Amino acid sequence: MIRINIKELLIPNWKVNDKISKISINDLSSKNVKALILDVDGTLISGKKPVLSSDIKNWIDNSKKYFYIYLFSNNPYKSRIKLIADELDLEFTYSGGKPSKKKLKKIIDKIPYSSNEVAIIGDRVFTDILVGNRLGMYTILVDSVDYYGKRIEKNNFQSIERYLARIITGGFS
C-alpha cells in the first residue's frame, strides 16, 4: 500500500513572492526544467477579464526560447482560454479538472519530457501545486495578478487557502 503524505503534496518546490513575470529564466533553467505548464486565471490574467499584461506576455515569449510551454486551466470557457492561447501561440487545455491528474497526465505523456522535467506554475495551492506534486512535477507557487497584470498583494481567497495549507503542512515560507 502506498502512503500519501498530504503535507508534501501541498508544499511547492519554489514559492515566488511575486507574479510569474518575476521568475528568473536562468534560475528556472538551473532546476533541470525543460517544460512549463502554466495556469491561466490568476496566474497570467485576472479572473475578471482576459487581458494579458505586456510584461507577462514578454516573459512567456522569452521563456519559449528555453522551454516547451503549455496552458492548462480549470476554466470551463474554451473561448476565454483560447483567446490567451492564440495571443501567445500556445497549445491549451480548458476544464482541466485540477487537482485531478487525469488530463494533465495525458499532456505530460504527449511531450518528450518526464514529469520531473516539467514545472507547473500557478497561484493556487489546492489545485496547481497539489496536482503538480501528485504527478512528481516541479511546482512553483506565484502571486495572483489583477486586471492590469499587477501583483495582488492581498487576495482573500488565496490567503485563506495558503493559511489552511500552512496549518496542514506545519508551514511553508
* pLDDT above 70: residue 20: yes
Domains of the chain listed by start with CATH number: 6-169 (3.40.50.1000)
SS (HEC) of 126-172: HHHHHHHHHCCCEEEECCCECCCCCECCCCHHHHHHHHHHHHHHCCC
Residue 115 pLDDT grade (very low, low, confident, very high; cuts 50, 70, 90): very high
Rounded distance between C-alpha atoms, residue 87 and residue 98, angstroms: 24
Strands 68-72 and 14-15: unpaired
Tens digit of pLDDT for each residue in 126-161?
999 999 999 999 999 999 998 888 888 766 666 676
Residue of higher predicted confidence among 69 and 172: 69
48: nearest Cα among 144, 146, 151: 146
Rounded distance between C-alpha atoms, residue 168 and residue 73, angstroms: 25
* pLDDT above 80: residue 41: yes
Rounded distance between C-alpha atoms, residue 39 and residue 97, angstroms: 12
* pLDDT above 60: residue 27: yes
pLDDT value of residue 156: 66
Rounded distance between C-alpha atoms, residue 43 and residue 27, angstroms: 19
